[in-house]
Structure formats: structure tokens, C-alpha cells
Amino acid sequence: METISFGGIDEITNTDLSGVKPDDEVGVITKMTSGVKRPERVNIFINGKYVFNLDVSQVVEYKVKVGQLVPPKRLEELKKASEFNRYWHMALEKALRRPHSEREMKIYLEMKTRKRTLRVRYRTGKYVDKVMEGMDPLLVDVIIKRLKEKKYLNDEVFVKFYSGTRRVQKGMSSRRLAMELRYKGATDELIEPVMKERDDEEEIEKVIEKKKKKYPPEKLFRYLVGQGFDFQLIRSKLEAEYGQKVRF
């Protein structure tokens, strides 16, 4: 970054230069443009080069403007604000697609903290491996906390949604559903009320109706066991379905 003299200019730009050493590199915001794909994003150029982007609300919050000096401490602050906003919107978009559990979201965000290598193709046709830095791990809990505060993340809502979806899409035993919900981070306190509303007899009939043409009785029996249904319930339902005793 080009070094720019800041003697006296801070009085014009209202930039806080306390703590800045004479040999520190201090940039200046030379241009701000709207994003092409996302007009609500503002591209920030320092010393004539693109450095990061912010959304409009952040530009107002941080009082960013053309001609403003950007000492190292201020640059780091704005970069972190840009990074937070980028991953916040990723998490928000995911949360808006369907209800998620807190654990699901945490796993998703923790994956974003990892470094990854992307193969980038330039217009010349040349491919270059580019190492992408991951998200600051400290942002994971910050983003989750904000999602919960904004009511975009709620384990109780998730449990009801997940249970209802499983009921419509496929038959599933209460045992299997409870196991999946626990794996996704739901507590027994949230799971138990949902289990009381389920009827395994109704659920197993759905599965038998869907799978009886695909599986012979013996294989269907093993499949139902794998889905967590009670052994005696499976036996009685299959014998009723086939009108005779089935060997297992």
C-alpha cells in the first residue's frame, strides 16, 4: 500500500489517527461503487485498488466516505466488518431456506473457517490454484447469537418442522426420528412432546405401502427393523399385509 502523508489532514477527514506512528502506512479511500450483482453492497477502493466491500448500512454505521484516511487499525476494523457481513448473509440465506437446528448451523459455519484451495481459470485459459482463507473462528458464535436474537434460529421450531417433514415424506419410527433429532442437537425436552403426537402403527403402514413392491417380505422385515420399528409391530403388520405368517 502506498504511504500517504497524514499531517494535518485528519482535521478535514475526521479520521481518528491516535496511535498511528509516523512510519505507519495510511491509505485513503479513493472510490466507492455499488456492487454489480448486489447493488446493496458497496465496493471500497483504497489508494486506487479494490480492498473489500460493505453493505449500505455498514457504510453509514462506520461513516465511510471518499477521501477518508484509513490507518492500519481502522483498515483492520473495516475488513472485519466486511468479513462478518459476508458470512452473516451466507448464514441468513441458509436459515431462510428452512428451519435449522443450532448444531446444524454451527457445523455449517465451522466448515467456513477452513482454508480451501480453488482452481481459478483466467481469460487466457490458464488455471491457477488459489488458497482461500477461512472465516475467523470467533465469528461462528457471534453469527449464531445474532441469528437466535433475530428469531432465525430456534431449536423448538426446527424439531416441529423436521418431525412434520419426515411424517409427510416418508414413514419413520419414533425411535429413528428421536435418534436423528438428537444427532442434530435437539434436547430430549424438545423431542418428547413431538414423540407423543406420533403413531408408529400409522408410520409403519406408510413404509409397507411404499416398499412392498420393491422388497420381498423377508427383506422388507429387515428394512423395517433398520428403521427402528418394534419387532412385534413389524411381525403383526406384515402378517396382516400378506394374509399369512411370514418367515423372518
pLDDT digit string, tens, across residues 122-137 = 778 888 887 778 888 9
Beta bridge partners, 129, equal 119
Q: Is residue 119 part of a domain?
A: yes
Residue 158 lies in a domain: yes
Q: What is residue 151's DSSP assignment?
A: T
Could you tell me the residue range of the domain that residue 188 belongs to?
Answer: 154-170+177-194
Regarding whether 118 and 33 lie in a shared domain, the answer is yes
Residues 123 and 158 occupy one common structural domain = no
Q: At 248, list the grid cell.
A: 423372518
Query: Is there a single domain that holds both residue 210 and residue 131?
Result: no
Q: How many domains does the chain have?
A: 3
Same domain, 40 and 159: no
Supply the pLDDT for residue 133.
80
Are residue 64 and residue 41 in the same domain, yes or no?
A: yes
Report residue 28 CA to chain centroid gap. Answer: 34
Is 1 a member of any domain?
Answer: no
Asked if residue 122 and residue 17 are part of one domain, the reply reads yes
Asked whether residue 3 is assigned to any structural domain, the reply reads: no
pLDDT for res 58: 92
Phi, psi of 213 (to 5 degrees): -80, -25
Query: Which class for 25: exposed (0-12), middle (13-18), buried (19 or more C-beta within 10 A)?
Result: middle
Q: Where are the extended beta strands (E) located within the chain?
A: 27-34, 41-46, 49-55, 69-70, 116-121, 127-132
Are residues 164 and 119 located together in one domain of the fold?
no
Give me the CATH number covering residue 34.
1.10.10.10
C-alpha distances (whole Å) from 71 to each of 31, 63, 136, 196 are 17, 15, 22, 60
CA distance 246 to 248: 6
- Whether residues 138 and 42 share a domain: the answer is yes
Average pLDDT of the segment spanning 40-60: 93
Give domain status of residue 39, yes or no: yes
In a domain, 236, yes or no: yes
b/e string for 127-138 if b means 16 or more Cβ within 10 A? eeeeeeeebeee
* Average pLDDT for the chain: 85
Same-domain pairing of 14 and 137: yes
Whether residue 95 lies inside any domain: the answer is yes
Is residue 5, in this structure, part of any structural domain at all? no
What's the half-sphere exposure (Cβ side, CA atoms, 13 Å) at 67? 6
> Is there a single domain that holds both residue 118 and residue 185?
no
Q: Are residues 45 and 161 located together in one domain of the fold?
A: no
Query: Which of the 8 DSSP states describes residue 46?
Result: E
Q: Whole-model pTM above 0.95? A: no
- pLDDT tens-place string over residues 232-241: 999 899 988 8
On the question of pLDDT at 11 being above 60, the answer is: no
Residue 139 shares a structural domain with residue 228: no
